[in-house]
A = this chain, B = another copy of it.
Amino acid sequence: MRPNESLLDALLELQTLDRVPRTGYLLRGVSDPESVSEHGWHLLFLIWALAPRLPDLDAGRALELALLHDLAELRVGDLPRTAARYLPDGAKDAAESAALAEILAPLGARARRLAEEYRDGASPEARLVKACDKLQLMLKVWVYERWGAGGLAEFWDNPDNFPDDDFAPVRELFEELRRRRQGWRRGSPEPGPLTP
């Protein structure tokens, strides 16, 4: 049967997330790109680090939403962004909801409700996770560019990759990142070592 039957089944299946590469980087030639579980860790850290700047939000809930937000990619794949162009409206979201429900079946309704909240952006916390997801995307882009990757400039040209203005601390970090990159790309001295 396809839904997992025990928590152990679910945990074992999830280990494979380490082998699901983030397609956006992979298709642009990044060697050994971030896996979905690596992306997940950075997103969780980012939310936790920003929590004190967002006192009106429930950080614990945001962490839970972030933990679940991408794991359906294990069964659906980390679709390249172009895939959305060719699939029926909503098909990707529906597929991910169904996959997540089966992966996490042993955890009951709790997981499903969180996944729906995230998918629908039904709470400020869900929207925060979406904003941080974009910021984390761009943090990694910049690091890959500093390491020498050459095919990622287009990410900076597409405002869909930028967090919107709803959460000022997220947006401010993004703008600081963008300024740092612009300084570097214009030929000013390198902005110090990446690694201390």
- Residue numbers of A with Cβ under 8 A of B are 2, 4, 6-8, 10-21, 23, 26-32, 34-35, 37-38, 40-42, 44-46, 48-49, 52, 59-60, 63-64, 67, 71, 74-80, 82-83, 85-88, 91, 94-96, 98-99, 102, 107, 110, 139-140, 142-151, 153-154, 173, 176-177, 180, 190, 192-196
Q: Tell me whether A95 and B86 are in contact in the complex, defined as CB-CB below 8 angstroms, given that A67-B45, A76-B80, A77-B78 are known contacts.
A: yes
Chain B residues lying within 8 Å of A67, measured Cβ to Cβ, are 44-45, 48
Chain B residues lying within 8 Å of A78, measured Cβ to Cβ, are 77
Q: Tell me whether A150 and B145 are in contact in the complex, defined as CB-CB below 8 angstroms, given that A13-B195, A29-B16, A41-B17 are known contacts.
A: yes
Q: How far is the CA of A148 from the CA of B180 in the complex (A)?
A: 20
Q: Helix, strand, loop or mixed for chain A's interface?
A: helix
Instruction: Other than A21-B21, A35-B35, A153-B193, give 10 A-B pairs with Cβ distance below 8 A.
Output: A11-B45, A11-B139, A12-B142, A15-B143, A16-B194, A19-B29, A31-B32, A44-B67, A52-B110, A151-B193
Pairs A-B, 7 closest by C-beta atoms = A29-B147, A148-B150, A86-B95, A154-B193, A31-B31, A60-B60, A37-B41
